Amino acid sequence: MADNHGNTPAAWTAVVIGLAAFVVGGIGLMVSSMPVFWVGVALAPVALVTLFVMAKMGLHSSSH
């Protein structure tokens, strides 16, 4: 297993965006607001794209 095991800026950023996506989508479902739900759905792939881009920038490796 890698020493950094997810403790990188790229991983943390992707997790925060993904968590925000699920929170926004969940709130949209609870208040029956479909546009808010779809904003949450649209944010989920943004987390993956952000992870990929930040990894290509070298932010997904340990800084030791």
Domain borders along the chain are: 9-56
Mean pLDDT computed over every residue of the chain: 88
Helix axes 34-56, 9-30, angle to 10 degrees: 170
CA distance 34 to 24: 11
| 29 pLDDT higher than 90 | yes
Q: Look at 59 and 28; give whichever has higher pLDDT.
A: 28
Phi–psi pair at 32, nearest 5 degrees? 55, 40
Q: pLDDT value at position 64? A: 43
35-45 per-position pLDDT tens digit: 999 999 999 99
Return the percentage of the chain with pLDDT > 70, whole number: 86
- Residue 5: is its pLDDT beyond 70? no
